[in-house]
Amino acid sequence: MTRNEEERGGGEEEAQPDDVVWLLRLYVAGQTPNSIKAFANLKKICEEHLKGRYKIEVIDLLENPQLAKGDQILAVPTLVRELPPPVRKIVGDLSRTEQVLVGLDLRPAPRGV
């Protein structure tokens, strides 16, 4: 993972009329184990659930601390879903896949929650 790394999901899925490219920003603070784990978990989730329809921007706040203000980042790693609206934020290493999917609106919340 490199500073301001951008990746676009590959894949040959047929585009649906309502398909939109998901813009996801992952805020990290250097190459910490949690940052590396968060990126790997995010990449896996995107490949499984958004193949061909996502863009990941990794923003290293050690190199660009001023960028934390715009998205009101208070902890790292933090994932911000910019598109599609509404903006969503998830803090942590993204290892709890089910919670990440619910947080990103890729899966409905379990009943009774």
Judge whether residue 100 has pLDDT over 50: yes
Distance of CA 75 to the CA centre of its chain: 15
- Whether the CB-CB separation of 2 and 57 falls below 8 Å is answered with no
CATH of residue 33's domain is 3.40.30.10
Q: What is the mean pLDDT of residues 25-45?
A: 97
The verdict on residue 2 lying in a domain is no
Containing 88, the helix (H) or strand (E) segment is strand 88-91
Residue 9 falls inside a structural domain: no
Percent of the chain clearing pLDDT 70 (strictly above): 82
Q: Mean pLDDT, to the nearest integer, of 60-89?
A: 94
- Domain span at residue 99 reads 21-103
In a domain? residue 14: no
Domain total in the chain: 1
What is the pLDDT at residue 113? 55
Q: Give the confidence band of 7 by pLDDT, cuts at 50, 70, 90.
A: very low
Alpha helices in 71-111 (DSSP H): 97-103
User: Cβ–Cβ contacts within 10 Å for residue 18, how many?
Assistant: 6
Mean pLDDT for the stretch of residues 27-45: 97
Q: Per the domain annotation, does 99 fall within a domain?
A: yes
